[in-house]
């Protein structure tokens, strides 16, 4: 491991790597690592990223490439050897490897135990329910009889999820009846997390940054708008009553403390007639925080670096009365939003982010944020710029 003073000595574990830049290792080199690299440049932090390909988005943005795999322990050790702290842009590292790195004295943020809550939806439901956090009713099924018994209590349709590995709605299905349940059970390994199909008034997300000392900074509540179970838009402030927003922020802060998270925690919530329910946790920068780049005093990417390096956390207030972000998704015709960038840049107020990823239908390729005085206008402008990039603007 590098000769770092980030080993927990002293009352405040802040980064004082005298005479050199702190080095942060990121497992993964996708768009989250790429935007973290953008923030690292401003702070003079060096980023090393572990990934298979030197063509990955964060490497092409200037992060140092450590070739290797997130699921090879030796490669994780190689990454850690050059870094003061190791963090993640995805959930693919086996939790036991994170714990083994910690046992070697590597500073990992967040810890393996905390990560498991983001890696395994069933484990998260069980752990958070046992701790008294509000979660949707849930069950687990390996066999059809278990699905039928859950449906008897909760009715059809049901929502079924793979406990691990799902993202952007891949790994989430609506089951209309026993036949569709039987087909799905045949197709998936490892059983299914089951939930009733909830009536959701708003889907919300709250970001919390937490340091190892337990200091937190909580962001304003964001409404996330999904289509086909994939997040398409972010709206801040979320159009909910102030008391509900305060409850959401307080719930997210409690969750961050409960998990012992270090860095950014994104808490996805369902706002229902029965109150707020915790859907998912991500213990890293998250799509729901992309609007913080222009829309908040401190972007989630800078805040993540501050938190994992033990530095003071930045302000989280919105920079405008309204902020809207739209995700740019690879169009069905396989065309490339980069070819339409110039047209999108003609849209006044549109902050365009493209991730440097090869276009594929349904793949998140970028986002656009608009800040301003009027929520509806921001939303329409962001939607328009996204439509231009996706080749759908008329
Ligand atoms: N129990 C549920 N009832 C209704 N909709 C749900 C339920 N669970 C998930 N969804 C919808 O599916 C989306 C994706 O589910 P989620 O568990 O967050 O998976 P992912 O890991 O793909 O984001 C949610 O944002 C929501 O729109
Ligand atoms: Mg989700």
Q: Are 386 and 368 in contact (CB under 8 A)?
A: yes
The rounded Å distance from CA 269 to ligand 1 centre is 10
To test ligand 1's pocket by mutation, which of 157, 162, 229 has the most ligand atoms within 8 angstroms of CB?
229
- Residue 171 near residue 293, CB atoms below 8 Å: no
Instruction: Convert 233-258 to b/e letters by CB count within 10 Å (16 or more is b).
Output: bbbbbbebeeebbebbbebbbbbbee
Question: How many whole angstroms separate alpha carbon 337 and alpha carbon 388?
Answer: 8
Residue of 172, 223, 228 to mutate, ligand 1, most atoms within 8 A of C-beta:
172
Band (17; pLDDT cuts 50, 70, 90):
confident
CA of 185 to the centre of ligand 2 (A): 21
Residue 169 CA to ligand 1 centre (angstroms): 7
pLDDT > 90 in the chain, percent: 92
- Residues enclosing ligand 1, CB less than 6 A? 136, 159, 161, 166-169, 171-172, 195, 197-198, 200, 203, 226, 229, 268, 279-280
- What confidence category does residue 6 fall into, taking pLDDT thresholds of 50, 70 and 90? very low
Q: Which two tokens stand for residue 128?
A: 């958070």
Please give the pLDDT value at position 13. Answer: 55
> Which atom of ligand 1 is least distant from the CA of 198?
3
Residue 278 and residue 57 in contact, taking contact as beta carbons nearer than 8 Å? no
The pTM assigned to this predicted structure is 0.95
pLDDT tens digits, one per residue of 331-381: 999 999 999 999 999 999 999 999 999 999 999 999 999 999 999 999 999
Atom of ligand 1 nearest to the CA of 161: 17
Distance in Å, CA 49 to ligand 2 centroid: 25
pLDDT digits (tens, 9 = 90+) for 60-107: 999 999 999 999 999 999 999 999 999 999 999 998 999 999 999 999
Whole-number pLDDT of residue 70: 97
Q: Which tens digits make up the pLDDT trace of 226-274?
A: 999 999 999 999 999 999 999 999 999 999 999 999 999 999 999 999 9
**Cα–Cα distance for residue pair 29/194, rounded to 1 Å:** 32
Ligand 2 centroid from CA 166, angstroms: 9
Q: Each residue of 112-152: pLDDT tens digit?
A: 989 999 999 999 999 999 999 999 999 999 999 999 999 99
CA of 186 from ligand 2 middle (Å) equals 24
Question: Distance (Å, rounded) from C-alpha 346 to C-alpha 249?
Answer: 36
- CA 389 vs CA 157, 209, 326, 354: distances in Å: 35, 32, 11, 10
What's the pLDDT tens digit per position in 231-244? 999 999 999 999 99
**pLDDT confidence of residue 151:** 98
Instruction: Please work out, in degrees rounded to the nearest 5, the angle formed at the alpha carbon of residue 119 by the alpha carbons of 305 and 106.
Output: 45
pLDDT score for 11: 40
Query: Which of 40, 88, 385 has the alpha carbon at shortest distance from 261?
Result: 88
């Amino acid at each position: 491991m590098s000769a770092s003073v980030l080993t927990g000595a002293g009352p405040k574990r802040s980064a004082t790597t005298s005479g050199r830049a702190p080095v942060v290792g990121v497992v993964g080199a996708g768009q989250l690592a790429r935007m973290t690299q953008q923030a690292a440049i401003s702070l003079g932090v060096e980023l090393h990223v572990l990934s298979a390909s030197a063509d990955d988005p964060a490497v092409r943005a200037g992060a140092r490439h450590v070739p290797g795999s997130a699921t090879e322990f030796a490669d994780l050790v190689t990454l850690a050897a050059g870094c003061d702290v190791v963090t993640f842009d995805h959930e693919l590292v086996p939790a036991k490897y994170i714990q083994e790195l910690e046992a070697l004295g590597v500073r990992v943020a967040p810890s393996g135990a905390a990560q498991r809550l983001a890696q395994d939806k069933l484990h998260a439901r069980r752990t958070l329910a046992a701790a008294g956090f509000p979660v949707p009713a849930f069950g687990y099924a390996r066999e059809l009889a278990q699905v039928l018994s859950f449906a008897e209590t909760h009715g059809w349709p049901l929502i079924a999820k793979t406990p691990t590995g799902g993202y952007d709605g891949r790994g989430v299905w609506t089951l209309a009846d026993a036949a569709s349940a039987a087909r799905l059970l045949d197709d998936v390994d490892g059983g299914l997390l089951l939930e009733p199909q909830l009536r959701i008034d708003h889907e919300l997300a709250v970001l919390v940054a937490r340091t190892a000392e337990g200091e937190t900074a909580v962001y304003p509540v964001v409404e996330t708008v999904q289509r086909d179970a994939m997040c398409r838009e972010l709206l801040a402030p979320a159009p909910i009553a102030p008391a509900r927003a305060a409850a959401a922020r307080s719930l997210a802060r409690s969750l961050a403390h409960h998990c012992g998270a270090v860095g950014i925690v994104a808490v996805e919530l369902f706002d229902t007639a029965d109150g707020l329910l915790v859907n998912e946790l991500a213990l890293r920068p998250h799509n729901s925080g992309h609007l913080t780049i222009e829309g908040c005093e401190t972007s989630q990417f800078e805040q993540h670096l501050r938190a994992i390096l033990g530095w003071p956390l930045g302000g989280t207030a919105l920079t405008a009365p309204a902020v809207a972000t739209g995700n740019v998704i690879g169009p069905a015709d396989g065309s490339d939003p980069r070819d339409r960038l110039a047209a999108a840049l003609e849209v006044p107020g549109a902050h365009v982010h493209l991730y440097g990823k090869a276009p594929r239908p349904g793949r998140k390729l970028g986002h656009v944020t608009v800040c301003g005085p009027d929520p509806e206008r921001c939303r329409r402008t962001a939607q328009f710029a996204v439509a231009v990039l996706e080749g759908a603007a008329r």
